[in-house]
């Protein structure tokens, strides 16, 4: 006899995860004998530099490091983040109070809402945007107010379009630049305005910055914490996953406002424990060691980006050339809903892309390419798209 267990009511509000549901379709297509080329998920395909791996594996040989780690991160790990922020952005952080270790930034993003959002509280969420901004809000009983990211506004939210009532009820505003999925970038003037609004309306300004060091040409992404007064209202989520090709290591940090980090730690102390210390040792080595290898990695991403942009132009789609991040955000003229379109594309070509609907409600005619696929496979995928559209 099968027992039916009743879900908690909050599960009814939890949106589906596109990549979780994609698995079945990928299996069906693979079973038909088609080689699948995945340009959908944003996971780095290259490993970290050897010196990072050697640092981690060497640390694991120490018999004393296999117990629990500090919930807020090993001291050397927090100091490494402070050193990185000083070197990279000119931002001074107190490693004891303004840096907090995370098991990947995703859990920190989700948990921030659990700490600060209650029933009926508003969270201002970019649309399109990373789904965890929305899912964390809904699971906390909050109300998602979407900030449309439109091409005519360079994929930046229009702060003046947010109502006075929504500002008054807002607990958190989420920003993310370089942006997933649009590839858009934001300057210091934009962040200055956001910090001013956070002070004015007393909400937490949460900036998700995992792509800050995946940039092209002369562009260098800023930190929101470079703005005067930002640490009074802002926290920034930064991850080893994308910058250092360490997605599977699940190491990251939230930095900035000490009170917010202290309360996030109070929540996390009831939910999880610290990362494996050798992982933090390797991460600290990545943060403070040579950064030169990242330039070669970014050059490879740029090569892939350019292949994709050339193909988009050749087949009649539309996209802006991204200056940062791991994605190309393309509009497909004449297609109202790319959710169905990408399924057809996968079945007919074996190329898997992500529809705009996976990131919100305002971009149903867009789809996303990921640069986190080996260059040889990107070349093959773009050729299939050209042949298919001919």
pLDDT per residue as tens, the chain (390 positions): 566 888 888 888 887 778 888 888 899 999 999 899 999 998 999 999 999 999 999 999 999 999 989 989 999 999 999 999 999 999 999 999 999 999 999 999 999 999 999 999 999 999 999 999 999 999 999 999 999 999 999 999 999 999 999 999 999 999 999 999 999 999 999 999 999 999 999 999 999 999 999 999 999 999 999 999 999 999 999 999 999 999 999 999 999 999 999 999 999 999 998 899 999 999 999 999 999 999 999 999 999 999 999 999 999 999 999 999 999 999 999 999 999 999 999 999 999 999 999 999 999 999 999 999 999 999 999 999 999 997
At 15 the pLDDT is 76
The torsion angles phi and psi of 104, rounded to 5 degrees, stand at 90, 145
Alpha-carbon distance of 246 to 97, in angstroms, equals 25
Residues 6+ apart with CB under 8 A from 217: 323
For 366, other C-beta atoms within 10 Å of its C-beta total: 24
Alpha-carbon distance of 171 to 116, in angstroms, equals 7
Beta bridge partners of residue 125, listed in sequence order? 146
Residues 6+ apart with CB under 8 A from 346: 25, 26, 29, 36, 352, 353
At 1 the pLDDT is 58
**Nearest-CA neighbor of 287 among 326, 236, 253, 323?**
253
For residues 84 and 287, the answer to whether their CB atoms sit within 8 Å is yes
Secondary element (H or E) of residue 318: strand 318-319
Alpha-carbon distance of 363 to 337, in angstroms, equals 9
Mapped onto helix, strand or coil, the DSSP state of residue 286 is: helix
HSE (CB half, 13 Å, CA atoms) of 162?
Answer: 25
For residues 158 and 336, the answer to whether their CB atoms sit within 8 Å is no
Q: Which domains does the chain have, with CATH numbers?
A: 10-47+293-389 (3.90.1150.10), 50-288 (3.40.640.10)
pTM for the structure as a whole: 0.95
Q: Given the structure tokens 């060691």, which residue do they identify?
A: 289
User: What is the gyration radius of the CA atoms in the chain, in angstroms?
Assistant: 21
At 6 the pLDDT is 86
């Amino acid at each position: 006899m099968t027992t039916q267990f009743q879900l908690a009511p909050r599960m009814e509000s939890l949106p589906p995860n596109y990549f979780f549901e994609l698995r079945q379709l990928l299996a069906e297509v693979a079973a038909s004998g088609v080689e699948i080329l995945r340009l959908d998920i944003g996971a780095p395909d290259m490993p970290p530099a050897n010196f990072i791996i050697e640092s981690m594996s060497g640390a694991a040989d120490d018999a004393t490091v296999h117990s629990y780690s500090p919930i807020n991160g090993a001291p050397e790990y927090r100091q490494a983040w402070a050193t990185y922020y000083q070197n990279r952005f000119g931002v001074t952080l107190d490693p004891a109070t303004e840096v907090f270790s995370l098991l990947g930034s995703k859990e920190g993003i989700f948990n921030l809402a659990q700490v600060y959002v209650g029933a009926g509280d508003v969270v201002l969420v970019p649309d399109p945007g990373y789904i965890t901004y929305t899912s964390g809000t809904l699971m906390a009983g909050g109300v998602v107010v979407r900030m449309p990211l439109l091409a005519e506004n360079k994929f930046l939210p229009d702060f003046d379009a947010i109502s006075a009532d929504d500002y008054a009820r807002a607990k958190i505003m989420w920003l993310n630049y370089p942006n997933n999925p649009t590839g858009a970038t934001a300057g210091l003037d934009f962040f200055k305005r956001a910090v001013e609004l956070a002070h004015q309306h007393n909400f937490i300004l949460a900036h998700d910055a995992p792509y800050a060091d995946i940039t092209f040409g002369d562009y260098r992404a800023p930190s929101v914490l470079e703005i005067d007064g930002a640490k009074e209202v802002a926290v920034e989520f930064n991850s080893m996953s994308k910058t250092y090709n360490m997605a599977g290591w699940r190491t990251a940090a939230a930095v900035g406002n000490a009170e917010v980090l202290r309360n996030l730690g109070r929540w996390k102390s009831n939910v999880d424990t610290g990362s494996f210390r050798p992982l933090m040792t390797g991460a600290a080595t990545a943060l403070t060691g040579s950064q030169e290898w990242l330039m070669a990695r970014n050059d490879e991403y740029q090569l892939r980006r350019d292949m994709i942009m050339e193909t988009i132009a050749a087949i009649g789609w539309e996209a802006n050339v991204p200056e940062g991040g791991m994605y190309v955000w393309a509009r497909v003229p004449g297609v109202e809903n790319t959710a169905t379109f990408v399924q057809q594309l996968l079945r007919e070509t074996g190329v898997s892309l992500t529809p705009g609907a996976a990131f919100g409600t305002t971009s149903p005619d867009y789809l996303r390419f990921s640069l986190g696929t080996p260059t040889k496979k990107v070349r093959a995928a773009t050729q299939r798209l050209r042949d298919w559209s001919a």
